[in-house]
Chains A and B, each alone.
Chain A
Amino acid sequence: MTRDLLVIDDSATARKLIEISLRGRPLRPHFAESGKEGIRYAAALAPSAILLDFVLPDMTGVDVCRALAADARTQTIPILVVTAKHERTRREFQPFPAVVDFIPKPFTAPDLIARIDRAIAGVVSGTVSRPVEPRRDPTERAAKLLFTRLRDGLALLPSQLRALEPGPIAPQLARRLLTPQVVEGILADLRPLYDELAAAEAPSRIADATPAPTAAHDPRPRHRPVVVCDPDVEAFQEPLRTRLAQRATSRELIAVERIDEVIGVTRRRQPCLVLVNATSRVAEVCAVAQALRADPALSDLAMIAVLEARVGRPPDLLAAGFDAVLAKPVIVDELERFLIPADLR
């Protein structure tokens, strides 16, 4: 017996994917591109099940469920919510017993069919119940997170390929896709999984890594601070502090006024990065860098010298141990290159 399935999704790509997935199955798909259209179709069609996208152009999936629950003709139709934000979404649909399953994006055709069949069978046998979502393997969750993060970039890939000039294609693509913001997001997503795996393997190490009590109110992962010694407080130091505060990981900026204080503060606070303005004091700054590089306790410290463009890039600074010499005004992405690896440590 062929059953009617209503698909409420504004994405033409998703609709096409679902249509292809259902080919050859005893399910007849009907498509609605907006919430209002979906509510209207559901009442007129009384389908066996509804596949509902969480985000719609005119309303959310929750709004649609509320409308369907208020109508006697539609309140018992089982609903499967398609969403990328699985855990958070589940809580929002708690008040609606008709919501029987959540289909994570991206889905596979066999999984989609199995879930739809299960939802319809539950209604037929009168045993509809909210299934307990199986705890997914961390590797699978990591893969899904990566896909979600990169999806926007991947969608733009055809146009980016056209726009690319001749030359080495991999670095160009990486530059366009793996922007610091995307990489930062990936790391923020993966960090809890990493912690989970680490906890399973070596619980004692996690106890050691418990954040300081001051981080209790900040849910973001807290990482080692950044030490900055730059006299330009208003235009450089404070905007940098703001940017650090906006990152997915919490990272404090420690401002040091005098160059001779940098060594002491660095040894005490163990930052991941030291940023020093070396304009008009190259020799002094080189001496500080050499002292820090000689300290075995600071072996993974990153050091950047900042200079006004007119100074050029004195080779002394790199020889003294700086990882990079950046010209002002500094491109923020250049700094991110040093903060992102530090997030992993």
Chain B
Amino acid sequence: MAMTGLTGVTGAAGATAHVVADTERLDRAVVAELGAVCARAAAEVLPWRLLATSKPVLIVGALNRGERQIPAALLEAANARGAALLLLSDDPLVRPVVPTHGGRVTLIAASASRARLRGTIRMLLARRGGFAREQLHPHVWTATFGAGGVQAPALHQDDDGAVTAVFPFNPDWSGAEPLSVEAHQIACASVKIDDEERQIRLRELFGSVAGMVHLSRDTLEWTLYWPSSAYPVLLCSVHRLPAVCNLAAQADAQVLHLAASPGDAVIGLSSSPALRHRGPVAGDGGAAFLDELEATAADRRSVPSGVIVEIR
């Protein structure tokens, strides 16, 4: 099998992650996209025949139209190696991307856009190579980004799956990381304190130097504290109207509660992104949005700082 364009890149740490692709059944364009994303993750794409000599972190295969079971060979390979499985489905799905088996298996519809496909692969290769500041959990994907040392957002996730992101508005403020734990406790204490008290405590904690995005442990509710309309905080989903909504104007130092839904991505940014097609890109998910943000930036240092929390 020719693997043109799939030359592996060894990461700075030395260890190269392997991604095995069922190249016989995958479209060449899909394999090319896979290769491009893997190169950025310092991962090497291997054809199926090299499975025996590899220990892949991800296996990519296909489900033909009408196929209702994961092909036995793929299942066996994924189980034996503890790898995640990405399956391109010829059948239409309820949503463009559907995680199953506690997030270990990801189905992506053939009708999904290229940006969505790249973003999904990127999500599954979180923490690797150029995606070191991204994390994947069974129901949530998170990312922090931007120039090092400036306005570094902090993320806190507990064992129950609840996530809190703290986004500093002041470039010199270094409290995001240490205060993220306390912010998380305040956001999670829904039974013990009412909204008014929660708002008072968050105001005491952050004043107007930082904003907070919290996703409840059952992924059913977003809680936002965002006391600045100068910094956008976008709620993006193709399953919402409008598909992209800047909640910064609404937050105005109040605590906002919003029902959460699979496919939601909340994106906090240090400046309004100058993306050519912001709506469709945001609809393709947080990872696709980040891809586009990086692609349109003149260099890596000009990417705005930001944080993304996405429900898978």
A81 to B244, CA, bound (A): 47
The one of A179, A182, A329 in contact with B240, judged by C-beta atoms closer than 8 angstroms, is A329
- A10 near B66: Cβ-Cβ < 8 Å: yes
A162 to B104, CA, bound (A): 12
Report if A152-B68 is in contact (Cβ < 8 Å); known contacts: A182-B94, A236-B241, A329-B235.
yes
What string of 1s and 0s marks CB contacts (under 8 Å) between B230-241 and chain A?
000001010111
Within 8 A of A (CB), among B242-300: 242-245, 247, 250-252, 254, 256-259, 261
CB-CB < 8 A to A308: which residues of B? 250
A30 to B240, CA, bound (A): 50
A26 contacts B by Cβ under 8 Å: no
- B91 near A309: Cβ-Cβ < 8 Å: no
Report if A162-B102 is in contact (Cβ < 8 Å); known contacts: A331-B239, A332-B239.
yes
CB-CB < 8 A to A43: which residues of B? none
Report if A232-B242 is in contact (Cβ < 8 Å); known contacts: A163-B100, A310-B256.
yes
A181 contacts B by Cβ under 8 Å: yes
B101 contacts A by Cβ under 8 Å: yes
Within 8 A of B (CB), among A231-249: 232, 235-236, 239-240, 243
B64 contacts A by Cβ under 8 Å: yes
B105 contacts A by Cβ under 8 Å: yes
B192 contacts A by Cβ under 8 Å: no
Distance to closest chain A CB from B311 (angstroms): 12
How many residues on A have C-beta within 8 angstroms of the other chain's C-beta atoms?
Answer: 37
The one of A232, A240, A329, A335 in contact with B237, judged by C-beta atoms closer than 8 angstroms, is A329
A157 to B237, CA, bound (A): 26
Distance to closest chain A CB from B194 (angstroms): 13
A243 to B67, CA, bound (A): 29
A332 to B240, CA, bound (A): 5
- B102 near A163: Cβ-Cβ < 8 Å: yes
Distance to closest chain A CB from B237 (angstroms): 7
- B69 near A328: Cβ-Cβ < 8 Å: no
- Jot down 16 A-B pairs with beta carbons below 8 A, ordered by A: A10-B64, A12-B69, A55-B65, A152-B68, A162-B101, A162-B102, A163-B100, A163-B101, A235-B241, A235-B242, A309-B257, A329-B241, A329-B245, A331-B240, A332-B241, A334-B259
Task: Please give the residue numbers on chain A whose beta carbons come within 8 Å of chain B beta carbons, in ascending order.
Answer: 10-13, 53, 55, 57, 151-152, 155-156, 159-160, 162-163, 165, 179, 181-182, 232, 235-236, 239-240, 243, 308-310, 327-335
